[in-house]
Structure 1
């Protein structure tokens, strides 16, 4: 009898909870000040417009479902796509060859194809070593991603030429066999580019511009600056380490370094996953400064005319490392290749493509201790939000075109990504097709909320049309309501979609509200034409990335790691 009574009580409480949530969802007035337009009248107007818009949307509130939480730590190698996802820009011409991972500023094409062209010339030269004609195989892959493959053991090439020495130091610290074969293939440096007017203003105040003055200006909210994810970007990792050393003196992981980092980090409006995303975001003109490599700066006439470049940190001279237990032949191939590309002809070609500038620049700090790099990344992950809670809503496309593999990968990416979310944050989940469904109301990310998030993700089913902007509107309303109880939280929306909107509201219908609330909306498109999603991400300096079913798990994991 007691069991039946307890069961009825639980059902009644569940029903009351759902009723209260529905009542609040459709009736509450917003009072939080975070992210509102200036002035009470305009804030109230935005809230009323959002209320009216959401009332026109068919919204269902899902029954919470608990899932089994996997407490095993995140394994980066499990989320990495097959290595063939990353293009081989130069194929080997012989049976005796060495495979090289190259960073993207030199292993691509055009102005970013210096090493590609040099490697092809090496293969065409008919070089013979130890009685055999030899060649190289070049794969174009970002330094952080390449490091993940190597350190996880998922795929280890014969050699690796990242942008800078920091990745080599991390690999060595992991105990992986690694040998520095060449300190430099071509010259480059990392730097902060600052708008000329802001640069002159800082010079007038501080006397000069360097990392310390820029980070101090950022801490005083005198500067809007963005930088890149130090887990993925060479420039971002370099900036993190340089900033910690600047504030910490001889102890980059000490309390002074942490406090200095938190002061400037509190006013950072934008963190991009890659330098390319940072460059795209900068086109809006909303950032006073951002990090960039000199080679990219030199190949961007618009940047050179409007920004001043200030170098920082270790040089980005593209060292070449041999990996694993190389045979004598492979090691000889790599040494021959390093000698070939450092010949005058190829160094002149590097200069023509923007490399080999600022040759006089030398780092002010001592050489990097590899043992501090992973702890520095961990510190950044833990402290980057300065103790501020993030309130996030994931908006998942479950329209008919997502059926099958796309939805399976979306689920996999969210289930993997939720492992990196900080416990101090709050999350919710909305799905959309022809209608919108609140799969999970926003709640603190404790074990109970994590379990319900897992259950909600696992229960997603595909069907219907694509009402993307209806889903975003409902997510904004959920966040506005959540901020009543969490006025200091930072609201964020993540949209995962495979196509363009074909029903419901349009971007024009919600653009002014996105602008008014200043909620960053990060969008992940599944190998689709998602220009509208890119446009909405650009409104509030958020990242838009294009993924496919092969690499979406890895990309979303990196995005969540950077933003939450």
Structure 2
């Protein structure tokens, strides 16, 4: 089974690499405390993906304290946390020198080999350190309403609930509203792409031999469209969804695909309502974590790496990994807590696996998702008050808006409101392709001046979206502001009250160190979204990230 999942992920990563996309959003780089290295010690380095940080930081310290030797020299291990995609990029460019590399999946090595045109860049046949399957996380009361744990739940059950006009009222829970779920972007997430493929297998009642013809059938396209109707919003990574689920609970979304380890970590926080892992009855996939020794390591370093690998596969090390929520790669280590129902998982699952589709099928699946994802109506609300003159804020904000617009799907409707002493609709809502030149022109024409009518501007955006009367789309307001409201005709309470039971979501960006974050946080909390903080140095990246929500 491990070989199967490795082959599956290799195909995914090669395709994503060909598209020039990272399969993981780069994260911060942080180094563990540097060990003391003596003149006769043998220093080796390991670069690991962030989900393994807690495990490996402790294991590295434990190993170094044991004064283990190889060829008469004490081995000292130095660890660095770096996202898999970033590490691959730096290795390819020669910017990262490491003895050992352990990304989230062994497929990153295949991508590195292909991109560097060096099939011998690492030692052959790297072995896994730990494993974690992909699950659909769901609030326990909601899962129980659907028959969990006695009944296996799958995509067909989710679809039936999405399409039911009663929503959760079908199960006597009218106060839960309609079924909703979140979805990350398969252009950068292997979990998301695994999810899309699983949906397409389910649409065709298959567990193997999925074809391009299967995907291109109208029933497959319709299946994706119908499931997408339950989407609240999209996103770039699981962290945002997990944090919002912790903060807003069952009122946020009903379900979300994530790795099993993420679900366990969520439940370790003792939430008021726990999540449970749904292993779709139609099948699921697993992500592995390989131990890769780079070929440019010398003989002593390779020997020391082998000693360290054996240490990480010991029952003590594997059990400590299991405490973090991983499944052990050492088959002699029995599954134990927290891989138990107490933390929302089933150690006997997954029971069903899906066969690896060929590369052309994966490309077709990505295209099908892009063509059938839930479309959006987006009002972009931009602060052009006088304070935006400071620190090059306005010019950098314009660049960020350009990035945001360039990344939105062409079929999404996009409009723009500018506000200073009063708001005005600069570009009415229309498709991005139709509006693009107008949006670019109005963006470049923004001049910082006047006061700040934030509440009036957001209320105007609400009116524009509600006038469309398109509840089958994601309806969203993205608002950029650097200061407190000083000029609105209505109060924040009036503004929020005007939304009533509207499904419109507000995504506020607090721009600059002096931004009035408390007000923007209040708006985010009301909308059950997140407040994003940006500066002139990263506003383009902030907007790029937000574009993946739609």
Normalised TM-score (structure 2): 0.71
Question: Does the 8 Å CA contact 1:187/1:359 hold for their aligned counterparts?
Answer: no
Query: Which has the higher mean CA deviation after the structures are superposed, 269-278 or 362-371?
Result: 362-371
Quote how far apart the aligned CAs of 1:122 are.
4.5
CA distance in 1, matches of 2:371, 2:231: 15
Match of 2:49 in 1: 102
Match of 2:15 in 1: none
Partner secondary structure for residue 469 of structure 1: helix
Match of 1:264 in 2: 227
Question: Does the 8 Å CA contact 2:132/2:261 hold for their aligned counterparts?
Answer: yes
- Residues 284-433 of structure 1 mapped to structure 2, 5 A cutoff: 284-286=249-251, 287-299=253-265, 300=267, 302=270, 306-311=274-279, 313-321=284-292, 326-328=296-298, 335-356=306-327, 357=339, 359-362=347-350, 364-367=353-356, 373=362, 376-385=365-374, 388=375, 390-402=376-388, 403-433=390-420
Quote how far apart the aligned CAs of 1:285 are.
1.5
2:152 counterpart of 1:208: yes
CA distance in 1, matches of 2:20, 2:279: 35
Residue of 246, 252, 256 corresponding to 2:202:
246
CA distance in 1, matches of 2:545, 2:94: 17
CA distance in 1, matches of 2:392, 2:303: 44
Question: Does the 8 Å CA contact 1:151/1:176 hold for their aligned counterparts?
Answer: no
Question: Does the 8 Å CA contact 1:468/1:501 hold for their aligned counterparts?
Answer: yes
Question: Does the 8 Å CA contact 1:235/1:275 hold for their aligned counterparts?
Answer: no
CA distance in 2, matches of 1:219, 1:156: 50
Question: Does the 8 Å CA contact 2:414/2:431 hold for their aligned counterparts?
Answer: yes
- Residues 113-124 of structure 1 mapped to structure 2, 5 A cutoff: 113-122=54-63
Quote how far apart the aligned CAs of 1:212 are.
4.4
Residue-by-residue CA offset, 1:137-156 (whole Å, 9 max, x unaligned)? 41243x5x648956996966
Partner secondary structure for residue 424 of structure 1: coil
Question: Does the 8 Å CA contact 2:88/2:112 hold for their aligned counterparts?
Answer: no
2:271 counterpart of 1:274: no
2:473 counterpart of 1:507: no
CA distance in 2, matches of 1:353, 1:152: 31
Query: Which has the higher mean CA deviation after the structures are superposed, 326-335 or 521-530?
Result: 326-335
- Residues 411-560 of structure 1 mapped to structure 2, 5 A cutoff: 411-446=398-433, 449-481=435-467, 483=468, 490-501=474-485, 503-504=487-488, 505-526=490-511, 530-560=517-547
Quote how far apart the aligned CAs of 1:394 are.
0.9
Question: Does the 8 Å CA contact 2:126/2:293 hold for their aligned counterparts?
Answer: no
Q: For residues 417 and 204 of structure 1, do their structure 2 counterparts lie closer, same or farther at Cα, with a shift above 3 Å needed? A: closer
CA distance in 1, matches of 2:279, 2:149: 20
Match of 1:7 in 2: none
Quote how far apart the aligned CAs of 1:428 are.
1.8
Residue-by-residue CA offset, 1:340-396 (whole Å, 9 max, x unaligned)? 3333222222223333325543551124656655554443233212xx4x3221112
Q: For residues 527 and 147 of structure 1, do their structure 2 counterparts lie closer, same or farther at Cα, with a shift above 3 Å needed? A: farther
CA distance in 2, matches of 1:488, 1:296: 30
CA distance in 1, matches of 2:89, 2:259: 24
User: How well do the aligned residues superpose, as a CA RMSD in angstroms?
Assistant: 4.1
CA distance in 2, matches of 1:193, 1:90: 32
Normalised TM-score (structure 1): 0.70
Question: Does the 8 Å CA contact 2:235/2:548 hold for their aligned counterparts?
Answer: no
Question: Does the 8 Å CA contact 2:232/2:474 hold for their aligned counterparts?
Answer: no
CA distance in 1, matches of 2:494, 2:416: 22
Question: Does the 8 Å CA contact 1:216/1:264 hold for their aligned counterparts?
Answer: no
Match of 1:255 in 2: 216
Quote how far apart the aligned CAs of 1:452 are.
2.2
Residue-by-residue CA offset, 1:230-276 (whole Å, 9 max, x unaligned)? 34445433322322333343226522543322221122223343322
Q: For residues 506 and 91 of structure 1, do their structure 2 counterparts lie closer, same or farther at Cα, with a shift above 3 Å needed? A: farther
Could you list the runs of 5+ residues in structure 2 that have no partner in the other structure?
Answer: 1-18, 168-178, 328-338, 340-345
Q: For residues 311 and 498 of structure 1, do their structure 2 counterparts lie closer, same or farther at Cα, with a shift above 3 Å needed? A: farther
CA distance in 1, matches of 2:473, 2:259: 33
Question: Does the 8 Å CA contact 1:467/1:501 hold for their aligned counterparts?
Answer: yes
CA distance in 2, matches of 1:169, 1:544: 37
Question: Does the 8 Å CA contact 2:44/2:305 hold for their aligned counterparts?
Answer: no
Greater relative CO (CA pairs within 8 A, separation 6+): 1
Residue-by-residue CA offset, 1:177-223 (whole Å, 9 max, x unaligned)? 57576443234333223333432332399942134433454455653
- Residues 48-63 of structure 1 mapped to structure 2, 5 A cutoff: none
